Amino acid sequence: MKNLPLQRRTLALIAVIVPLLGLLVYVALRSGPLAPVAVTEARVESRAIHPALFGVGTVEARYTYKIGPTFAGRVQRLDVHVGDRAKAGQVLGEMDPVDLDDRVRSQEAALKRAEAAIREASARHAYAQSQARRYEQLFAARSVSEEAVITKRQELAIAEAALAGVKEELVRARSDRDALVAQRSNLRLVAPVDGVVILRDADPGTTIVAGQSVVELIDPQSLWINVRFDQVSASGLAADLPATIVLRSRHGRSLKGRVLRVELMADAVTEETLAKVIFDEIPSPLPPLGELAEVTIDLPALAAAPVIPNAAVQRLGNQTGVWQITNGEPEFIPVTLGRSDLDGHVQVLDGLNDGERIVLYSEKALGAHSRIHVVERIPGVVP
């Protein structure tokens, strides 16, 4: 009778101590640096990958026409506004001619005066001619002296020269007038092609320097995207490859296009290769110039080869490789990697074979002596 409560107490004590010890052992082995690292595994599989290039760029117009005067001056009128369509040859505006019209009129007057001078010179010439002819006949009949005839001949020659001079004067006056008229028409701002006005830099009354643009015109059919590709990931970029374009303002809607050309000049500072991508069909409404666009260029599919996810690629020392699982133990295998696609698949050129098991995700960095246990999902990751 006396032993029983003692035994019960012993049992109770054991019931407390044993789970405590068990828990301690569990805690010591299952947490902290001694615990095995949770990893997920993947298999190397042979498949074809579709590499693609990703770049960003801005919408630009291939042809931009900056229309402005060739002389410094003041804008007199401007008939078009941003967004207006213009036809080739249409007058968009005009510069203030200041005194040009008056000078044209003065030149016309000078022209008329030159014509009058021609008439005067022609009359003198005709008279001199007839006088010369008459004196020649009289001299032949020996009625006048030789000196008189010579005088008349000289008068005719002078009248001829005077006529030729005023004729040239007429040409000069006409050319002067034409030049002024040409200058006058040069003050008109004329659309060189069919296009859309994208910028109106100055309003009537503004004084501008020679060469400054007043309106800018683009050809909407010539929109393209100036795309920048990081040089490290631009291999395979070539003209005529199909492209998918996503404009920043139209997220989720992709447009089709193709590479028009890859620029021969790259950006040396930003280390980017530049390319021009054109739309298969110009989107409507027109995207604003300068809008950001994301461009994905699809490259031809590669032949099937062993492929692994890029998350599995690790580095140990100076070697790139993957952790292969053999008999439940991780082993670092150096690999040579080939091309990759944008979904994170990388070709393995050397080091792994189809079907081999490798570590995909791990809870922490693995080392040569790490113990692993393979799980479906790393703890803490929401499916």
Partner 1 sequence: MISLAGRDILHAWGKFVFTGFGLGLLIGVTLTMAGVYRGMVDDGKALLDNSGADMWVVQKDTLGPYAESSSLNGDLYRAILAMPGVASAVNVTYLTTQVRKGERDVRSMVVGIVPGGTGATPGWPPYLVAGRQITRGHYEAVADIATGFQLGDRLQIRRNQYTVVGLTRRMVSSSGDPMVFIPLKDAQEAQFLKDNDAIWQSRRRTEANPAFNRPGVPGLLDAIIASQSTNNYVNAVLVRLKAGAVPDEVASSIQRWKRLTVYTRAQMEEILIGKLIATSSKQIGMFLVILAIVSAAIVAFIIYTLTMDKIREIAVLKLIGTRNRTIAAMIMQQALALGLIGFAVGKITATFAAPLFPKYVLLQPQDSIAGFFAVLVICALASVIAIRMALKVDPAEAIGG
Chain contacts with partner 1 (rule: CB under 8 A):
6, 9-10, 12-13, 16-17, 20-21, 23-24, 27-28, 31-34, 54-56, 209, 211-213, 229-230, 232-233, 269-271, 294, 309-315, 317-318, 320, 337, 340-344, 346, 361-366, 377-378, 380-382
What is the rounded CA–CA span in Å between residue 232 and residue 364?
29
CA atoms within 13 A on the CB side of 308: 31
| C-beta atoms surrounding 167 within 10 Å | 15
Integer Rg of the chain from CA: 46
For partner 1, give the closer residue by CB, 23 or 116. 23
How many Cα atoms sit within 13 Å of 125 on the Cβ side?
A: 16
Burial class, 7, CB count within 10 angstroms (exposed 0-12 / middle 13-18 / buried 19+): exposed
Q: Name which of 117 and 241 has its Cβ closer to partner 1.
A: 241
User: Least separation, in Å, of the C-beta of 99 and partner 1?
Assistant: 24
Residue 359: is it exposed, middle or buried by C-beta count within 10 angstroms (0-12/13-18/19+)? buried
Q: Which is nearer to partner 1, 106 or 233 (CB)?
A: 233
Smallest separation (angstroms) from partner 1 to the CB of 47: 16
Q: Which is nearer to partner 1, 23 or 158 (CB)?
A: 23
Closest approach of partner 1 to the CB of residue 64, in Å:
14
Nearer to partner 1, 213 or 324 (CB): 213
Q: Is 204 exposed, middle or buried (0-12, 13-18, 19+ CB in 10 A)?
A: middle
Which H or E run includes 320?
A: strand 319-326
Which of 221/310 has CB closer to partner 1? 310
Q: Smallest distance, Å, CB 121 to partner 1?
A: 50
- State in angstroms the smallest separation of the CB of 211 from partner 1: 8
Shortest distance (Å) from residue 272 CB to partner 1: 9
Q: Is 68 exposed, middle or buried (0-12, 13-18, 19+ CB in 10 A)?
A: buried
